[in-house]
Structure 1
Amino acid sequence: MRRTPFALLQVGNLLSGVGNGVAMVVLPWLVLDITGSASAAGLVASATLVPVLFASLLVGTVVDMVGRKRVAMLADALSGLSTAGIPLVALLGHLDATWLIGLAIGGAVLDPAGYTARKAMLPGAATRAGWAWERANGVHEAVYGAAYILGPGIGGLLIGLVGASNALWATAAAFAVSVVATAFLRVPGAGRPDHHERPEGLWRGTVEGLAFVWRQPLLRVTTLLVCLVVAAYLPFESVILPVHFTDIDRPAQLGLVVTTMSVGGVIGSLATAVVVRRFGRYRVFVVSVLMACLALLGLGFLPGLPALLGLALVTGLFWGPVQPILDLAMQVRTPEELRGRVIGVITSATYAAGPVGLLLAGPAIDGWGVRTASILFAMAVLVLAIGSLLPRRLRELDDLREPDHEGPHVAVPTPYPAP
């Protein structure tokens, strides 16, 4: 029974991820089916990104004000209702691009809140299960990665079996089961915080989270590193590889390469606790970042498919341990009552970094060609990663110590840092 809360948390983690993964495939398909316009499909994708970018900065404060469990349930319930609304409107004969955009925004606006709430509950669930936080972080990230491997595949299968609109009933069902699983979740700190622990306001609470991350040198350095790498990496997955496989008329191979990278990431996340025990957290972190970026540089040369698959697997394998280690740094260095705000700030920074690289990728490909642009972006990833690994603060990763888990409550002893 001690592991039941952790298992329930991962059920929600998996099903909400699968639901979003299905929607990622089905919604553009529906728009193309209704309008026949690729621009309209792009508009829907952009419309769902806008609320994520704006909401992700504030949702951490909402989590700390309302309570982690309530926010996770509300986020999944809203996503489920929004996706169920699409086939319902279709049954009534009123489905058009306007309805799709409105319902897609409704489903996406609280996605960062659900992600933040579940991650904030993870230390408590791991403590109840008797697991080290590092091991729990690896499993949580692996489940999240697996969800986004399964989701698009299930979405494509359902489109073929029942049609795009009806496929969203399955998405709504996944969110509904996630809500039920979360409702039975009992972990320390999941309920609404005491009045004296809540933020005094939405904006003030968000500023407190920003200030805390900035004043914690280790969190500041690691957040900057991830943002730089994401800004330079995202164009690979979203622009460079799609253009390359379109140019050689092998679009199906794109999904194979991206899936292989994701599988590598799942395996790497699961291996985190084992390799950290053997080699140390700082060494694993530095080697993982450098090897992942070197493999990405190999991808930048756009070799044949076998080499691409091998390099994609290596990229995922080595990047896999990075996020669990960063999660542990955040968990240990952040007071319990601030955890939602800090996760929200770090997540929003990562979300914001991606579009910067995407804005540069298109002009670079148009001006220099896809191969030259891919090599330049890969070199940029490597240079930025090396520069970000230089600060000595990263050696503090080996000094991270989880609190003693003797009782049911998690007490993080780290005080607020001095300005």
Structure 2
Amino acid sequence: MSRGPGRVLAGRFLQFWLIQLCAQVGAKVALLFLPLLAIRGYGVSPAVLGFLNALQYFPVLAVALLFGAAFDRWNRRTCFVAAYLGNSAALLLVPLYGDGRHRVLLLVGVCTAMGCLVAFADMCAQTVPPDLVPADQLVAANGRLEFVYSLCLVGAPGAAGLLYDRFGSGPGLTVVSALCCAAGVLSLGLRLSRRAGPEPGARPRVWAATVSGMRFLLRHPVLRVTTVQAGLFNFLEQAVMTVYLLLAVRLWGLSPGSVGMTITVGGAGTVLGAVVAAGRGGRMSAVRALVLGMGLASLTPMLLVFAGGSRPILITMASATFMIYGFGLTLYNVHAVSLRQMLTPPERLGSVSAAYRFLAFGPIGLGALLGGWAGGFLGLRASLTVFVALLAVAFAVFAVSALRLRATIAAVLPEGRGTGPDGVANDSAEPVRTSPANPS
């Protein structure tokens, strides 16, 4: 007899859940802490900030392409230990050597190393739950992991700002490093089954499965639309977020704690969106949920363009923007992930998921670069206006395409089939997130 959903957090899965809690909190706090340090502590230019942000996301391209099919053969416990302890060591380099002449170069190296290691560990983590729980508990287990990711979305940005305000860069990064170290130490005791390697004499091609998954995504009419929209949205959204950090600190005069708090409210919107998707949103037609969710996520950032007034008003407007944005994007994600799972043959889910990460998350780094360059070349307000307008245009094209495919989508994901019994999409949502959220 299988255990009830409430008993999932036990045994080896509880240990893995705690590892992910420490690792995700540490990684997501560092994701905002390092740019805040670059702005407030080092006074970097907009272009350099965009470059630093990009370095935290570009590695997903190489990791997804090169290692998408490798974790079936490798010792995953060793992968976790190396990645998490590597993150811890990289973060400690900043307080130890971050006051010298080459401190910006050091930050470049740390951001690059963390980008590689976080992408590596997150992709490895997607292969673990089926080894720890029976098949009928997989949705409940993924729901518990999704709680960790949502918790990071809600708490990590605010925690990053508060750590910087309260302790400064050195002690703050030491705390984050300790969390990553705890994840690595806990991983030492994680027992995972070894998987069968390639046949003797076979030449492994770890990238071939990912390339095959790309072809599958881009040839299927429904998955092509959702994948292209996810890539465009992530590209433009990261450009907006890079400009927003500079705008909020330098023009609005907000403290790092206040900036982090506005983004944290966006994380609360993702939690609310998950609750609605499990309730009324789960009974909504898939096309309506996709269009409504992406519309809220793409159009709401216009409020940032028109924000003005005193600091309390600016904080309120930014917080409201990110809350509505997070709500809409979560509603979209639940149905988009379910569509991808139902349209993909079970034997190809791994390669298609790796391909999706490459196509949808790869553009995030380019968006960060573009946002930093545009902020310095066009000015912060002008560049924010341009990127927000492009988000609206991309949404309009997506809405028309989705409505044209209404019959096809309805046949695959009819009303009420958006989520599993816990209100979680019947797939393991990707844990890589930027700012409040990204299309899964």
- TM normalised by structure 1 equals 0.75
Report the AA paired with residue 273 of structure 1: A
Q: Where in structure 2 are the equivalents of 1:13-52 lying within 5 Å?
A: 13-24=20-31, 26-27=33-34, 36=42, 38=44, 42=49, 45=53, 47-52=55-60
Report the AA paired with residue 63 of structure 1: F
1:341 and 1:17, CA in 2 relative to 1: closer, same or farther beyond 3 A?
A: same
Query: Is the contact between residue 55 and residue 110 of structure 1 (CA under 8 Å) also seen in structure 2?
Result: no
1:85 and 1:75, CA in 2 relative to 1: closer, same or farther beyond 3 A?
A: same
Report the AA paired with residue 277 of structure 2: T
Q: Where in structure 2 are the equivalents of 1:9-408 lying within 5 Å?
A: 9-24=16-31, 26-27=33-34, 36=42, 38=44, 42=49, 45=53, 47-66=55-74, 71-84=79-92, 101-122=108-129, 130=137, 133=139, 140-158=145-163, 164-179=169-184, 191-195=194-198, 200-240=204-244, 242-243=246-247, 246-251=250-255, 253-303=258-308, 304-305=313-314, 306-335=316-345, 338-358=348-368, 360-361=370-371, 370-371=380-381, 373-389=383-399, 390-391=401-402, 392=405, 393-395=408-410, 398=413
Aligned mates of 1:33, 1:311 — CA distance in 2:
24
Q: CA deviation at 1:19?
A: 1.1
Aligned mates of 1:376, 1:109 — CA distance in 2:
30
Q: Alpha-carbon deviations, 1:326-362, whole Å to 9, x = none? A: 3333444445554443322222223332344445546
Instruction: Report which stretch shifted further, 137-146 or 344-353.
Output: 137-146
1:234 and 1:168, CA in 2 relative to 1: closer, same or farther beyond 3 A?
A: closer
Query: Is the contact between residue 59 and residue 341 of structure 1 (CA under 8 Å) also seen in structure 2?
Result: no
Report the AA paired with residue 262 of structure 1: G
Matched with 1:417 is: none
Secondary structure of 1:257's match?
A: helix
Aligned mates of 1:73, 1:329 — CA distance in 2:
34
Q: CA deviation at 1:102?
A: 4.0
Secondary structure of 1:195's match?
A: coil
Q: CA deviation at 1:79?
A: 2.0
Q: CA deviation at 1:209?
A: 2.9
Report the AA paired with residue 51 of structure 1: P
Q: CA deviation at 1:8?
A: 4.2
Matched with 2:434 is: none
Q: CA deviation at 1:224?
A: 0.9
Aligned mates of 2:398, 2:35 — CA distance in 1:
37
**Structure 2, unaligned stretches of length 5 or more?**
1-6, 427-440
Report the AA paired with residue 222 of structure 1: T
Aligned mates of 1:95, 1:236 — CA distance in 2:
28
Matched with 2:430 is: none
1:213 and 1:194, CA in 2 relative to 1: closer, same or farther beyond 3 A?
A: farther
Q: Alpha-carbon deviations, 1:66-105, whole Å to 9, x = none? A: 2666544443233234335656x559x9996655544553
Report the AA paired with residue 273 of structure 2: G
Aligned mates of 2:282, 2:392 — CA distance in 1:
26
Q: Alpha-carbon deviations, 1:145-195, whole Å to 9, x = none? A: 4224433444455556665334444333322433455566678xx743453
Matched with 1:416 is: none
Q: CA deviation at 1:235?
A: 2.1
Secondary structure of 1:109's match?
A: helix
Equivalences, count? 398
Secondary structure of 2:307's match?
A: coil
Percentage of matched positions with identical amino acids: 23
Report the AA paired with residue 387 of structure 1: V
Report the AA paired with residue 31 of structure 2: M
Aligned mates of 1:33, 1:376 — CA distance in 2:
26
**Structure 1, unaligned stretches of length 5 or more?**
411-419
Query: Is the contact between residue 86 and residue 100 of structure 1 (CA under 8 Å) also seen in structure 2?
Result: yes
Aligned residues: CA RMSD: 4.3
Bigger helix share: 1
Q: CA deviation at 1:239?
A: 0.5
Aligned mates of 2:161, 2:245 — CA distance in 1:
20
Q: CA deviation at 1:122?
A: 4.8
Query: Is the contact between residue 361 and residue 373 of structure 1 (CA under 8 Å) also seen in structure 2?
Result: yes
Q: CA deviation at 1:315?
A: 1.5
Query: Is the contact between residue 69 and residue 191 of structure 1 (CA under 8 Å) also seen in structure 2?
Result: no
Report the AA paired with residue 86 of structure 2: L
Q: CA deviation at 1:31?
A: 6.8
Q: CA deviation at 1:316?
A: 1.3
1:328 and 1:127, CA in 2 relative to 1: closer, same or farther beyond 3 A?
A: farther
Report the AA paired with residue 269 of structure 2: G
Query: Is the contact between residue 64 and residue 199 of structure 1 (CA under 8 Å) also seen in structure 2?
Result: no
Query: Is the contact between residue 232 and residue 381 of structure 1 (CA under 8 Å) also seen in structure 2?
Result: yes
Secondary structure of 1:310's match?
A: helix
Aligned mates of 1:286, 1:347 — CA distance in 2:
22
- TM normalised by structure 2 equals 0.72
